[in-house]
Structure 1
Amino acid sequence: MLVERIEAKWIDTFVSVFEMCGVEPPQTAAILSESQSRSVNVNLAELALDRLGTPAIHIVVPTPRQSAPVPVRSTGASDAIAGSTAVIAALAAVDFVVDCTVEGLLHASELPQVLGEGTRVLMVSNEHPEALERLVPTPDLEPKVKAGIKKLIAASEMRVTSDAGTDLVVNVDGAPCGGGWGYTSRPGSISHWPGGLCLAFPKAQTVDGTIVMDRGDMNLTFKRYIESPVTLHIEDDFVVDVEGVGTDAALFRSYTDAWGDREAYATSHVGWGMNPGARWDTLTLYDRSQTNGTEQRAFAGNFLYSTGANEHAGRHTLGHFDLPMRNHSVHLDGEAVVIDGVLQGELA
């Protein structure tokens, strides 16, 4: 079992990523955490910022009461700020925020207010520092992710297929697109570490087809590898049928049904992983309490389908699945960007 303690090498790791974010005096910085945050990452962030000559203020909020019928996991939509105008004002007043909340601010409702004055935010995923150390971003990833996002923005249709039976068509014309490479130096922006994703948030009634999750694919809400195939039938964005006889299909149905919210069955975002340093097989090497599964979202060539909230389609729910899959092919207007799980062309 890995121990969570301060290690000099991990301070070095945080320093190197913060340097990529352009942190230097006389900039100001804040560390946002909550009562259930991974304390070792909070401490490492503090020590790294101090070493860079940018001592941080700490903003610590209580982890909110449980309000959902089932545990909420890995949403990227922390509700820890809870709309506090004082917290938002404090975060918006500094140049750089290290986000150490459990779920992260990536999709938090308060994020636009935090970024509005030019604050930049690095969301440190709730991982053990060993994983963060392995997945320090490299400068050569940024132009490749940007190239992938550019292709997504220019495309009208994404088609995803696999030998296992996936055949999904997504109208991405005008869909908001984005991604990250693990650091950010641009004012008014957010990125997450580990990084390496290209994503689109489809508009309403633009997603149709079939997805087959095969053995070895992942359900990251459960931090579990698929052991028996699960087939999702999707019509007008919504999963209308979950086919499968094993535990994986039963868990999918049970957890999604628990929300009592049809929008939990809706499409959130679609995209693919870009990080060649991330691996699909490391999930099994960490205790579940020590990983957030961000590495598995980002491993190069995976197809990522997610259910749940999509503000661009007018849907809001806490029910959420991130489902990275191997051995899929992704085409944008007929151009292959991923073939059988392998990145193509300038993205490779």
Structure 2
Amino acid sequence: MTADLRLEPRWIDGFAHVFGLCAVQRGDVCAVLSESASRRDLVQLAELGLARLGARVFHVVLPQRPVTTPVPVRSTGASDAIGGIDAVVAALARCSFVADCTVEGLMHAPELPAILAGGARVLYVSHEHPEILERCLPQPGDDAPVRDAMRRLKSARRMTVTSAAGTELEIGLEGARVGGVWGFTSKPGTLGHWPGGLVLAFPAAGRVRGTLVLDRGDVNLTFKRYLADPVRLVIDDDHVVDVVGDSPDAQMMRGHYAAWAEHEGHRGAYAVSHVGWGLNRRARWDAMLFYDKADFNGTELRAFGGNFLYSTGANEVAGRHTLGHFDLPLRGCTVALDGEVVVDAGRLV
């Protein structure tokens, strides 16, 4: 549990600003969803931000569920806080807006489709220090570059990713599901997260192969760690088939993958979840240096402009389910769609 912080007036201003971008109106019925392990400052800021807009606010607070895996579950975006409780789903689905303050967020939670089907708009407020949210405050118009990137990604058939460090990836996009987030959401039945600013594709089965090289300074967000030495991932038929390297970074990745395979009885944790790139020019690659791990969730590093984000784990499009998940933002990559470069050596085109 993080220490209680004094709630700065500017943070309340920021929450009200973002919820206003989510089209919250006076009189709207809005829920603040949290769990016992949620940051209390974010829960209070969500309530105060909604109240400033004149919304009618109520809280849904759930106890943290027991740990059932031998491996720590981090960075999944699939909160298990609701635990399939129908009454909670029904209450959230009937809201105009839900401020999601759970630790992992509802992005990939099994209850999310039913909540969205009721017409609720859901915004995951990333589980980190309010200063990070303040620096990455979304603005009107932030959706435009993400929407443009989504259109490009939806019309492409092939993504290639290369880097001076040795990355050479081929990704087929036929049958992929494309999504994007920009820090707010105003359409009923949709979800966003703050910070935002990235575009993603969930490839269909059997579409990814090649080599992914994590260079020094690249990020393993599941471990909340900048790499000290390169790690080379050999990928065939969507799955990491070899983690090459003798450094502690490589050893820890091998051990984490193997632990999930042993626990789950399959190799789903080794497989691709999603691929994409960051578009947020206000987000910073070096931000993790300035915060304790308990104050940093890493959503900012998933979105910093020009990063290539490769993630392994659950992928509903490919029919794969696992709790094991790595989010790996890489710098210095060139990303091309059907030969047209959209990120040039880590620089947004």
Is the Cα contact below 8 Å between 1:4 and 1:128 reproduced in 2? Answer: no
Distance in 2 (alpha carbons) for counterparts of 1:22 and 1:42: 19
Q: Could you tell me which residue of structure 2 aligns to residue 229 of structure 1? A: 230
Q: Deviations over 1:12-32 (max 9, x none)?
A: 110100010111122110000
Deviations 1:46-65 (A, max 9, x none): 01111111031100111110
Deviation at 1:164, TM superposition (A): 0.3
In the superposition, the TM-score normalised over structure 1's length comes to 0.97
Give CA deviations for 1:184-208 in whole Å, capped at 9, x if unaligned: 0000000000001100000000000
For 1:36 and 1:2, locate their aligned partners in 2 and report how far apart those are by CA, in whole Å: 12
Work out whether 1:329 is the aligned partner of 2:334.
yes
The aligned residue for residue 166 of structure 2 is 165
- Secondary structure at 2:15's aligned position in 1? helix
Aligned position for 2:9: 8
Shift of 1:277: 0.1
- State the TM-score, normalizing by the size of structure 2: 0.97
Aligned with 2:322 (options 317, 325, 329): 317
Match of 2:202 in 1: 201
Aligned partners of 2:159 and 2:170 also within 8 Å:
yes
Provide, for residues 255-314 of structure 1, a one-character-per-residue CA deviation record: whole Å limited to 9, x for no partner. Answer: 111112411100000000000000000101100000000000000000000000001100
| 1:297 lines up with 2:298 in the alignment | no
Question: Does the 8 Å CA contact 1:153/1:174 hold for their aligned counterparts?
Answer: no
Query: Judging changes above 3 Å, is the alpha-carbon distance between structure 1 residues 339 and 21 closer, same or farther for their aligned structure 2 residues?
Result: same
Task: Return the alpha-carbon distance in structure 1 between the equivalents of residues 22 and 63 of structure 2.
Answer: 28
5+ unaligned residues in a row in structure 1: which ranges? none
Other structure's SS at 1:146 match: helix
Distance of 1:82 and 1:179 partners within structure 2 = 26
Task: Verify the 8 A CA contact 2:4 2:41 in the aligned structure 1.
Answer: no
C-alpha distance in structure 1 between counterparts of 2:244 and 2:29, whole Å: 52
Match of 2:157 in 1: 156
Q: Which residues in structure 2 correspond to 1:223-302 (within 5 Å)? A: 223-259=224-260, 260=262, 261-302=266-307
Q: Which runs of 5+ in 2 are unaligned?
A: none
Matched residue, 1:54: 55
Contact 1:95 / 1:119 at 8 angstroms: preserved in 2?
yes
> Once the two structures are superposed, what CA deviation does each residue of 1:35-84 show, in whole Å capped at 9, x if it has no partner?
00011000000011111110311001111100111111111000111010
Segment drifting more, 14-23 vs 254-263? 254-263
Percent sequence identity over matched residues? 58
Give 3-state SS (helix, strand or coil) of 2:336's partner: strand
**Deviations 1:139-171 (CA, angstroms, capped at 9, x unpaired):** 232110000011000000000000000000000
Q: Across the two proteins, how many residue pairs are aligned to each other?
A: 344
In structure 1, the residue matched to 2:76 is 75
Would you say the 8 A contact 1:11–1:47 is kept in 2?
Answer: yes
The one-letter code of the counterpart of 2:117 is G
Is the CA contact 2:28–2:56 (under 8 Å) kept in the aligned structure 1? no
Q: What does residue 92 of structure 1 align with?
A: 93
Mapped to 1, the partners of 2:130 and 2:309 lie a distance apart of 24
d(CA) in 2 for partners of 1:188, 1:3: 33
Q: Which amino acid aligns with 1:336?
A: V
**Cα distance in 2 for residues equivalent to 1:29 and 1:200:** 30
Matched, 1:180 2:181: yes
Contact map agreement 1:46 1:55 (CA 8 A) in 2: no
Q: For structure 1, which segment, 2-11 or 37-46, has the greater mean C-alpha deviation from structure 2 after superposition? A: 2-11
Partner of 2:147, secondary structure, is helix
State the one-letter code of the partner of 1:80: A
CA contact (8 A) 2:32 2:59 kept: yes
8 Å Cα contact 1:172/1:202 also seen in 2:
yes
- C-alpha distance in 2, partners of 1:238/1:265? 5
* Pairwise CA RMSD: 1.1
Give the whole-Å Cα distance in 1 for the aligned partners of 2:8 and 2:321: 40
SS in structure 2 opposite 1:150? Answer: helix
Spell out, residue by residue over 1:304-333, the C-alpha distance to the aligned partner (whole angstroms, 9 max, x if none). 000000011000000000000000000000
Q: Using the TM superposition, give the Cα deviation of residue 227 of structure 1 relative to its aligned residue in structure 2, in angstroms.
A: 0.6
After TM superposition, the runs of 4+ consecutive aligned structure 1 residues lying more than 6 A away are: none
